[in-house]
Copies of this chain bind each other. A is one copy, B any other.
């Protein structure tokens, strides 16, 4: 009989295209993985991977097997989390959070969870929206915190709170802007904007509300965190959008930075918690949503006291 372990290893192998790399991903040594793959090929009576120099290739059968293994593993993971969490917010919970939210929301959320004395073993994974969505779909994550609007790929989304975009820059730049008039997002020159790397929803959403497109000229500094970005704009390297949720932390980290709230209608994103539709009993989900909303609101209140 094939085993789920073998399937797990095989999926990792197909993804990594390397025995050693796959072994690392599943936290075993390379011989252990090689052996399981071999065993799998024996039970199926067919070669699944062609071992090429520096690469592997799935055989025809291997491709079929891979697809099915994905399905079987997803079903198993879904079953597990569904049942495990059906009693409420207890047991192990694997939560994904996007990078522009995680460092600000999680500390407060975890404090709340702890003080609620919940018997919860929470694992957090930070990744970009697309990856989080697919991980929730295939059961690698139980839920994820992402920012809407964004394609949720058929997942159920529970809005948590609204996060406004502020304009951040060096104090002189911001003063120059306010001197003229209340700036509107659409007035901004795209060339002066510093944005996060490709793939971060924040950049795309921010540009979207301004009716702008990502220009080639944008200085691509490889900024992959808001903290880096804030450090840069504080030094006068340009302007950036800063979500309210990050304001308190980043103001503390970069005291030279100034921020400006846009006039209504303010550009914003909706922070939401997503889960699979199939998740049967959703008490834990609602409990978690409440906790995260409270944590978020706290940050919003603090932010509004500063801008």
Chain B residue contacts of A43, Cβ below 8 A: 80, 84
Interfacial chain B residues near A68, Cβ < 8 Å: 75, 79
Which of A85-93, A175-183, A196-204, A221-229 forms part of the interface with chain B? A85-93
- Asked if A130 is at the interface of the complex by the 8 Å CB criterion, the answer is no
21 A-B residue pairs with CB within 8 Å: A1-B76, A2-B79, A3-B4, A3-B5, A4-B4, A43-B80, A43-B84, A44-B83, A44-B84, A45-B84, A45-B91, A46-B83, A46-B86, A46-B87, A64-B79, A64-B83, A68-B79, A71-B75, A72-B75, A72-B79, A75-B75
Number of interface residues of A (CB under 8 A): 28
A residues contacting B by CB (< 8 A) are: 1-5, 43-46, 61, 64-65, 68-69, 71-72, 75-76, 79-80, 82-84, 86-87, 90-91, 280
Name, among A44, A46, A75, A84, the residue most crowded by chain B CB atoms within 10 Å (CB to CB). A44
Determine if A76 and B83 form an interchain contact, defined as CB atoms under 8 angstroms apart: no
Chain B residues lying within 8 Å of A76, measured Cβ to Cβ, are 1-2, 72
Assembled-state Cα–Cα distance A87/B87 (Å): 47
Residues of B within 8 A of A72 (CB): 72, 75-76, 79
Q: How many copies does the complex hold?
A: 2
4 further A-B pairs in the complex, CB-CB below 8 A; given A46-B86, A64-B79, A72-B76: A3-B3, A45-B87, A65-B79, A75-B75
The 7 closest A-B CB pairs, nearest first, are A68-B79, A44-B83, A45-B91, A45-B84, A72-B75, A61-B83, A44-B84
Most buried by B among A43, A76, A84: A76
Cα of A71 to Cα of B74 in the assembled complex, Å? 12
Q: Roughly how many angstroms separate A82 CA and B72 CA in the complex, as a whole number?
A: 15
A1 to B26, CA, bound (A): 13
**A44 close to B2 (CB less than 8 A):** no
Q: How far is the CB of A244 from chain B (nearest CB, A)?
A: 37
Q: Name which of A3, A46, A72 has the most chain B CB atoms within 10 A of its CB.
A: A72
A104 CB to closest chain B CB, in angstroms?
31
Option from B4, B75, B90 in Cβ contact (under 8 Å) with A45: B90
Is A64 a contact partner of B280 (Cβ separation < 8 A)? yes
Contact pick for A61, options B45, B46, B65, B86, CB 8 Å = B86
Q: Shortest Cβ distance from A140 into chain B, in angstroms?
A: 12
Task: Give chain B residues whose Cβ lies under 8 Å from the Cβ of A75.
Answer: 68, 71-72, 75
The residue in chain B whose Cβ has the minimal distance to the Cβ of A81 is: B44
From residue A125, how far is it (CB to closest CB) to chain B in Å? 17
Chain B contacts of A5 at CB under 8 A? 3
A270 vs chain B, min Cβ distance (A): 32
A7 to chain B, nearest CB (A): 8
**Cβ contact of A65, chosen from B4, B45, B83, cutoff 8 A:** B83
